[in-house]
Structures are given as structure tokens and as C-alpha cells.
Amino acid sequence: MISLTLSDKGKRSVNQDLILEQAAKDGSYLFAVIDGMGGYEHGELAAQVIAENIATYISTVDSINPFHIQKAINKSNLVIRQKNAVVSGRMGATIGGVLIKDEIVTYFLVGDVKVFHFRNNHLIFESTTHSLTTDLIASGSITEPTQLSKYKHVVTRCIQGDVKLSQAEFNSNHFQADTDVLIVCSDGVHDQLDSLQIEKMFFKAASTTDLFHHLKTRLTAEAIDNFSFGIISLNPNKEFHQITQSI
């Protein structure tokens, strides 16, 4: 599995995002974006602590599965709780990613990192963020976009010391190596580009590598917040027009 990745501070002074990649002995492959919470203290430290603890736990298993992902998140959650007690403050982060094993991809998330799954250049899955905006829309409490915008960055799940609030959501799908491309990104990306805009980029790009450069150029010019993303595919140089012709 090949990933093309970028993590940038955008217009912020510090980058609080981190990208984590890990493979197990059986070939199961984990990719995640960890987004330190700017509304809390030491977001960059929180992301680092979480990445290190998840990586340490995953390195002890022969095969990665959803159970191990949640155990790794729980472990990092405990460490964050301990550090919060020491500094008498609050630090935390959100996380989202994919686990690929054989022909199955499992999407997982806690918070507002997003996962997109494209097949033959078309979107077949987009994760839903754990945010107050999502909850308000689902309940029908608020429908006016101007009212919803102020709640956009209020997350309802995150890794910040409370195990009840750090339960990951898991969904699975079939992964077709010849045609599928996965994108995992922080909110600094999906705040700027929605799934339709990204889908249109597929049809403008000649290959996965070309798509990466299109995203990099656009985000470098426009993103205000930290932005991090990974494009995961079997072959980053596979030409998209060849994929389209095989439909």
C-alpha cells in the first residue's frame, strides 16, 4: 500500500496535526490523521502523545483489527488524562483513519477528521464528523446554515481523558486495489474542500500523484488552519483515465 502525505501549519504558527502509518506482520495497514485540538492547551503535544502511544501499542500485535485500534485509543486516552492532571489543564485531539486488510477497508474516527473513499474517480463513502453541527442537523434543531457555522468546530467525541467520549466509530467496505483511492484528512482540508470539489479534482488529475499536487497547491494557497491529508492507493502513478475506461 502506498500513501502520499502532507502535513502543514497553514496560516497558523504551529502545526498541531500528525500523520501515523503502521503495518503489522500479517500485512494489515493502518493510516491515521491526528488533529490536536486548538481550543484546548498544547494541541501539538496531545497529538504527539496520542500518536506515540497508539504506535507503541500497535507494534505489539501481529494483526491490526478494530479491537486493537480501540485499545490503542484507550491507552492514549489514559496517558492524556494523566498529563491533564499534571498540568491542571486540558489537552486533546481527534483522530480518523483507515485499516486495510486483504480486500476490506475499515474506516474509524473519533471527532472531525474525515475519510473519503473513491472508486473509479467517484465518491462511494464519506464519514460523518462527531460534531455539534452534525448532531443539530440530525435532530432538526437548527437548519439555517448561518446558525450552524458557529458550532462547526465543536466536537462531541475526542481523545481528551474521558473514555466515554473517545469511543471510535467503525464502518467497513470492500477495497478494490485496482480502482480505489482513500483520502484521510484533518478539518483544515475538508473546511476548504468538500467531497464534490475533491471528486472534480479526480477528473482533472492524470494520476494519484497528480491529484496530490492539485490538493497541495490549492491548500497551500487557501488553507487558514493546519491541514494534513493522506492519499492511499495501491499505485500512486496509475493513470485515472485508465481506471475510468475499465468501468
The DSSP line for 215-244 is HHHHHHHH--S-EEEEEEES-TT-BHHHHH
> In terms of residue numbers, what domain contains 45?
2-124+154-245
Sign of torsion over alpha carbons 100, 106, 107, 110: negative
- 52 found inside a domain: yes
Distance between CA atoms of 79 and 84, rounded to whole angstroms? 9
Q: How many domains does the chain have?
A: 1
- 13 found inside a domain: yes
Cα(first)–Cα(last) distance of the chain, in Å?
22
- 133 found inside a domain: no
Residue 246 clears pLDDT 50, i.e. is over it: no
- CA dihedral 159→165→167→171, nearest 10 degrees, is -100
pLDDT digits (tens, 9 = 90+) for 128-178: 999 777 766 666 666 565 665 666 678 899 999 999 999 999 999 999 999
- 149 found inside a domain: no
- 220 found inside a domain: yes
pLDDT mean over 178-200? 96
Instruction: Give the distance from CA 115 to its chain's centroid.
Output: 6
Distance between CA atoms of 166 and 157, rounded to whole angstroms? 6
Q: What is the CATH number of the domain that holds 174?
A: 3.60.40.10
Three cell numbers written together for 226: 493546519
Contact yes or no for 69/108 (Cβ under 8 A): yes
Q: pLDDT at position 228, please?
A: 98
- 138 found inside a domain: no
Three cell numbers written together for 67: 479491537
Residue 245 clears pLDDT 50, i.e. is over it: no
Q: Band of the pLDDT at 86, cuts 50, 70, 90?
A: confident
